[in-house]
Structure 1
Amino acid sequence: MNFCDLAVSGVADLRPYVPGKPIEELQRQYGVRDVIKLASNENPLGPSKAALAAVALNSRELSRYPDGNGFTLKTALSEKFQLQAEQITLGNGSNDILEIIARCFVRPQDEVLFSEHAFAIYALVTQAIGATAVVTPALNFGHDLQAMLAAVTERTKLIFIANPNNPTGTFLSASDLYQFLQQLPSNVLVVLDEAYVEYNSEPSASFDWLAQFSNLIVTRTFSKAYGLAGLRVGFAVSDPVITDLLNRVRQPFNVNNLALAAAVASLGDEDYLIESRAVNTAGMQQFEQGFKQLGLEWIPSSGNFITVNVARSAADVYEALLQRGVIVRPIAAYGLPQHLRISIGLEAENARCLQALAEVLES
């Protein structure tokens, strides 16, 4: 029996998402012991002390199911961002929510619209449900909102926009996004994926727009600036009717006890968030200066990563860096075969990466 014949056509043809190489895998593969990982846009500071304390305290209750409604976290989010709890959907990371949205609203006969060089998950969830992906050409490595508007048809059900965009780090201004929403038909849903928004210097106005645009869904995560990637917790904010529908599809207990507690603690730790931004800003400047000295071009980034053109096969450079114990991310799958995406690390990690990159490029 060929079980692929039994699978849904979209699933049978899928290529699984490939995450950044784990440190342990590189150690096994090359026997390298001193490894730094700058591949998955993780916070180099680790979790905040407040989050760690919350995890330790709540680990005593691991025999209990988590609060399926996430009351405490929703209350904390409501207070911090002036929202209603009825607007919030919790997810096992924001990836979970992106899939829930697609499963909830998109049918096989529908179209899902997103940009070239956009987050790979958009294409994966579209294909998995058998819908048609419509990919608009990028503008300066980012979203061309006018091209996206022009691509909208009667079949368009959902639009994904990452801001800042992963993997290129490009950023759309509030005024451009607002004008886009004004011109979009109200029956087309827009997911504004703000996984990296805390790193951008320009405050997001997206939550303020929800009262005007009932077709807008904003997703965020605790994986990046809050340093909780390993616990998997994210959230969406939308019209309460949409939230109700999403919660009908959402798996019960999709956010665990430790993630809920750590997220609440992290929300209240403003000093940690300020430090995360400061480390990221300094590291970004360090990489930009290093690239300038190496004569490399890069894409200015508003995230916690930077994408650089190594002017040759990025896959070859990636492999050579692995042998030196440095893990970064090749992004040929995003249509950028000569680019590497490098997460911002601590100062010493950034320096080691730049030194290794210089050695590889000179060899």
Structure 2
Amino acid sequence: MSENTTAAGAASENLFRNALPGILSLHAYTPGMPIEELQRKLGIADVIKLASNENPLGPSPKVSAAIAEATKGNLGLYPDGSGHKLKNKIAEYHGISADRITLGNGSNDILEFLARIYAGPGRAVMFSDYAFAVYPLATLAQNAEAVVVPSHGADHPTMPFGHDLAAFTRVLKTRPDVSLVFIANPNNPTGTWNTPQEIEAFLDSVPPHVIVALDEAYFDYQDVELRSDARVWLDRYPNLLVCRTFSKVYGIAGLRAGYALSDAKVADLLNRVRQPFNNNSLALVAAEAALADQEHVKKSVELNASERIRVGAELQKLGLRVLPSQANFLTVDFGRDAAPIHKGLLERGVIVRPMGSYGMPNFLRVSMGTVREDDRFLSALREVLAEGQR
């Protein structure tokens, strides 16, 4: 080994020496591949993306109009750091006081706030396996312990890979160091869900000092009879926080806006760690306009519901197992390593999400698109599967 190599190694060790152990244990979150990246890599001009659970209809026309109007103003000025107008519109929509709302740069921001406040050395954060990748990232970044509760098994008759909230309750009784619990309902990346009765039973079992974050990013895509009335629960359980986002059904993922509903005292803590101006001026006006156009939400939900049924049936005709979903995606079991199938789809200009990083290497997650986009995915998949059988 040369002296230069030895010196370089020593320099690298010095750079990591004072980094927090939790950070050193992390792997960076890998988002769904952008369309431009596939175009660059393979030279494919016509690409569709069904990897990141975005709304294929995009934002409401009212959002586009609001953004156009906002750009006529002075973008050299900072945005309203309190988000006053948007918070009041959200408060009106949910029938809650504005002091119980915290705005985030997407709902991911809220998850990070919670970890900064309630996690740390000597504390633990509880969540299910096969749950949103940001939960362990936020936990380990604060040097807290991740308590990962096994999900329902792959062979569960109704909710394979779903959150087992009865197991959450059992584990919580043995772990007094748990300070924060994350529950995704519906869950990403599986699409599975818990009934309101299951969630309420769990909330009844949680000590009042343990914060429960109910992550409802996909709430609007659920069938109405399955939706939880978390707004009522907020008054009964001061330790409950509900996360929502404008990135999914509202179609403004590119602008990053989300929010939390909570007890006013919890909101006060969240706002102490929230960075000033975490929502830019265009995100604020876009979110306000998006919330006001519930007709666009209805149209988006109806398209998703019909495509989720149709695409799921077509996948089952191909002999594939499709996990139950109440979100805007389907998670598909190919019964073998799905990496070659993912590669074959990319070569045909179709981007879906591999699940290897979630410990599900035989699965791909497919966002619901327009009818045309979904037909193209199904056609490409048939080609890939047929090619693999030769």
Q: Does residue 328 of structure 2 align to residue 316 of structure 1?
A: no
AA of the residue aligned to 1:124:
L
* Structure 2 partner of 1:339: 363
Match of residue 14 from structure 1: 26
Please tell me the residue identity of whatever aligns with 2:65.
A
Residue equivalent to 1:213: 237
* CA displacement, residues 89-125 of structure 1 (integer Å, 9 cap, x when unaligned): 0000000110011101112110100001000000001
Separation of aligned partners in 1, 2:310 and 2:17: 51
SS in 1 for 2:336: coil
**Among residues 294, 298, 301, which one is paired with 1:270 in the alignment?**
294
Correspondence 1:178 to 2:200 = yes
Partners of 2:176 and 2:336 in 1: how far apart? 42
- Over 3 Å off, 4+ runs: none
Match of 1:30 in 2: 42
SS at match of 2:146: strand
Would you say the 8 A contact 1:286–1:350 is kept in 2?
no
- Per the alignment, residue 76 of structure 1 pairs with 89
Q: Deviations over 1:35-77 (max 9, x none)?
A: 0000000000011101111111111231111111111001101
Q: Which residues in structure 2 correspond to 1:150-299 (within 5 Å)?
A: 150-152=170-172, 153-202=175-224, 203-299=227-323
What TM-score comes out, normalization by structure 1 length?
A: 0.99
Task: Number of aligned residue pairs: give it.
Answer: 363
Q: Hey, what does 1:146 align to over in structure 2?
A: 166
Distance 1:80 1:158 in 2: 27
Question: Offset at 1:315?
Answer: 1.3
| 2:124 aligned residue (100, 111, 121) | 111
User: What residue identity is the alignment partner of 2:295?
Assistant: D
Instruction: State the 1:292 CA deviation.
Output: 1.9
Give a deviation string over 1:264-286, Cα, whole Å, max 9, x none.
Answer: 11111011001000110121122
User: 2: CA distance between counterparts of 1:170 and 1:132?
Assistant: 25
**1:86 and 2:99 correspond:** yes
Amino acid at match of 2:164: D
* Consecutive unaligned residues in structure 2, runs of 5 or more: 1-10, 153-159
Which whole-Å CA distance do the structure 1 matches of 2:206 and 2:144 have between them?
A: 20
Matches within 5 A, 1:44-63: 44-60=56-72, 61-63=74-76
CA distance in 1, matches of 2:256, 2:373: 25
Report the alpha carbon displacement of residue 232 of structure 1 after superposing the two structures with TM.
0.1
Distance 2:186 2:377 in 1: 23
Identity %: 50
Provide the rounded CA distance (Å) in 2 between the counterparts of 1:28 and 1:335.
28
What letter matches 2:69 in structure 1?
A: L
Secondary structure of the corresponding residue to residue 354 of structure 2: strand
- What residue identity is the alignment partner of 2:342? Y
Alpha-carbon distance in 2 for matches of 1:204, 1:36: 33
Matches within 5 A, 1:122-133: 122-133=135-146
Question: How much has 1:289 moved relative to structure 2?
Answer: 1.7
C-alpha distance in 1, partners of 2:255/2:46? 25
Provide the secondary structure at the position in 2 that maps to 1:211. Answer: helix
Which residue identity lines up with residue 298 of structure 2 in the other structure?
Answer: I
How far apart in 2 are the matches of 1:46 and 1:39?
Answer: 15
Match of 2:80 in 1: 67
How big is the shift at 1:346? 0.3
Gaps of 5+ in 1: none
Q: Secondary structure at the match of 2:114?
A: helix
Q: For the residues of structure 1 that align with 2:229 and 2:27, how far apart are their CA atoms?
A: 35
Q: Please say if 1:43 is aligned against 2:45.
A: no
**Aligned residue type for 2:166:** Q
Q: Which has the larger radius of gyration?
A: 2
Post-superposition offset of 1:6:
2.5
Secondary structure of 2:266 counterpart: helix
Q: Cα deviations across residues 247-306 of structure 1 (Å, max 9, x unaligned)?
A: 000000001111110111111101100100011012112211211221111001100000
| Alpha-carbon distance in structure 1 between the residues aligned to 2:316 and 2:111 | 37
1:221, distance to aligned residue in structure 2 (A): 0.1
